[in-house]
Amino acid sequence: MKPASKLVPIPKNGVDYRGKVVLAPMVRSGELPSRLLALKYGADLVWGPETVDKAMIGTTRRCNPLTSTIDFTRVSSNGVRNPSLGTNQRESIIYRLHPQREGRRLVFQLGTSNPENAVKAAKLVAADVSGIDVNAGCPKPFSTTGGMGAALLRTPDVLCAILRALVREVGEVYEIGISVKMRLLETPEQTEELVRKLERAIREQLRMIADVCREAGVACLMNGDVVDRDSAIELIKDYGVDGAMIATAAERNPSCFRSKEEGGLASWEEVVREYMKVALEVENRWGNTKFLLSQIMPGKDPKYVKTNQSKSYEEVVQILGLEEELADVARDVDKRLDIKPKETRAERKAKANESARAAGGDTRKAKKQRPTQRMPQPRVNHSQPGVATPEMPLDVSREAGPGSLSEAQAPVLAV
């Protein structure tokens, strides 16, 4: 008779990953509104987007009474240059979580290449999450050039040192789980060798794909081509793993976490309505909200183009036909976030004429003297010589960073 597999005890403030279908970590698509909507539709756990250790170090933890969230903020570069700005304009939100609605179902993913920095960053958020997950899977230059992400797979001793430090100084102190998300190497032998090193490094906290992992008795989650809860359950059975992650499918429609018996996929109209409610409740960054709407809405719908051209919450609520329910809230959020729609050409002309009349001048003269607008110049991407990228709004451009490849392209092991 085969002996029963041993199981590593679940930390007091941690969570058991076994039997779970979870939201995978994704830049942009892992922000607070997306996580809350995934939980609403049945996700068992949610991973936040990768947050680099140096971005977290030096932040201030604040309780936000307007959104009931916990915000980790720091003074922005614009705030440093302009100390006269108000607090909301001077500070940037690096990470935001909702303690009541996410509770102990949130896992914080950390981008790091240094044990000391990893511990400093993790300690800041450890009391508010159920686990710290090290990103050792992202293949994009944003991570790998700094020795983070998939680059850690080539320096297993560094990765092991990071995990040992996190287990000793964060996991054991705060009684939460420590995990690592990695991608498969070129050969099974390379992957097995790496994971066995990691297993020894953090005292049997990791498992290798099914067989090796089971020896240590710790949960193993896998993702790749997972489109909904039902396919996730099949993956768990087929590969003998403990749980599965959903990434791209959840970005398009977070109701994919519902089983067919529970209703299955909701219409995009329902998902957009629910997403807008949550985004406004937590005062999500406008650029991030606009991006997620573009992922959820079908490109052929007439509202899609108008939504992409919208400049504020109030405007997009009107486009989506949600004025009766959300117009007042949208207007208030626009004011608090200082979102000011650009003036139309007619509005600029009317303002110029009004100024001219107030000065006792000729409106035709004002028209002639109207300063010419300088067209925005493309910004050269020095990482790719000869490639130019258009200027992006601040709240969009600063979100650029490591992300996930399509699930078909990047099979990933998370343990």
User: 262 with 290, same domain?
Assistant: no
> Does residue 377 lie within any of the structural domains?
no
DSSP bridge pairs for 135: 181
**Mean pLDDT over the full length of the chain:** 80
Note the pLDDT tens digit of each residue in 297-347: 999 999 999 999 999 999 999 999 999 999 999 999 999 999 987 666 777
> Does residue 82 lie within any of the structural domains?
yes
| Residue from 179, 177, 139, 129 nearest 159 by CA | 179
Q: At 351, is the pLDDT very low, low, confident or very high (cuts 50, 70, 90)?
A: confident
User: 129 with 250, same domain?
Assistant: yes
Q: What angle in degrees, to the nearest 10, is found between the helix axes of 268-281 and 323-336?
A: 40
User: 197 with 318, same domain?
Assistant: no
**Domain limits for position 355:** 286-361+388-398
Percent of residues, the chain, with pLDDT higher than 90: 54
Q: Which of 25-34, 53-62, 267-276, 360-369 has the lowest mean pLDDT?
A: 360-369
> Does residue 403 lie within any of the structural domains?
no
> Does residue 325 lie within any of the structural domains?
yes
pLDDT confidence of residue 222:
80
Q: At 149, is the pLDDT very low, low, confident or very high (cuts 50, 70, 90)?
A: confident
Instruction: Give the residue-averaged pLDDT of 401-409.
Output: 39
User: 157 with 188, same domain?
Assistant: yes
- In 280-380, DSSP assigns E strands to 379-380
Residue type, 307: T
pLDDT confidence of residue 204:
35
Q: Is 84 exposed, middle or buried (0-12, 13-18, 19+ CB in 10 A)?
A: exposed
> Does residue 38 lie within any of the structural domains?
yes
> Does residue 207 lie within any of the structural domains?
yes
CA atoms of 236 and 73, how far apart (whole Å): 38
Are the beta carbons of 285 and 397 closer than 8 angstroms? Answer: no
Identified catalytic residue from 138, 160, 213, 220: 138
Per the structure, the count of domains in the chain is 2
Does residue 39 have a pLDDT over 90? yes
CA atoms of 224 and 254, how far apart (whole Å): 16
C-alpha Rg value of the chain to the nearest Å: 24
In this structure, are strands 131-136 and 412-414 parallel, antiparallel, or unpaired?
A: unpaired
User: 162 with 51, same domain?
Assistant: yes
> Does residue 380 lie within any of the structural domains?
no
User: 90 with 167, same domain?
Assistant: yes
Residue type, 243: G
CB atoms within 10 A of CB 362: 12
Instruction: Give the residue-averaged pLDDT of 220-243.
Output: 84
User: 244 with 310, same domain?
Assistant: no
Question: Active-site residue 138, yes or no?
Answer: yes
Instruction: Give the residue-averaged pLDDT of 23-40.
Output: 95
Query: Which CATH number do you get for residue 141?
Result: 3.20.20.70
**Tokens 């006269």 — which residue?**
84
User: 50 with 90, same domain?
Assistant: yes
Q: Which two tokens stand for residue 409?
A: 């392209």
pLDDT confidence of residue 209:
58
pLDDT confidence of residue 87:
54
User: 150 with 238, same domain?
Assistant: yes
Residues 6+ apart with CB under 8 A from 183: 136, 137, 139, 150, 153, 410, 411, 412, 413
> Does residue 254 lie within any of the structural domains?
yes
User: 128 with 230, same domain?
Assistant: yes
User: 243 with 325, same domain?
Assistant: no
Element (H, E) at 300: none
CA atoms of 374 and 131, how far apart (whole Å): 49
DSSP label at 167? I
In this structure, are strands 131-136 and 177-183 parallel, antiparallel, or unpaired?
A: parallel
DSSP label at 25? P
Are the beta carbons of 22 and 246 closer than 8 angstroms? Answer: yes
Are the beta carbons of 134 and 145 closer than 8 angstroms? Answer: no
User: 67 with 187, same domain?
Assistant: yes
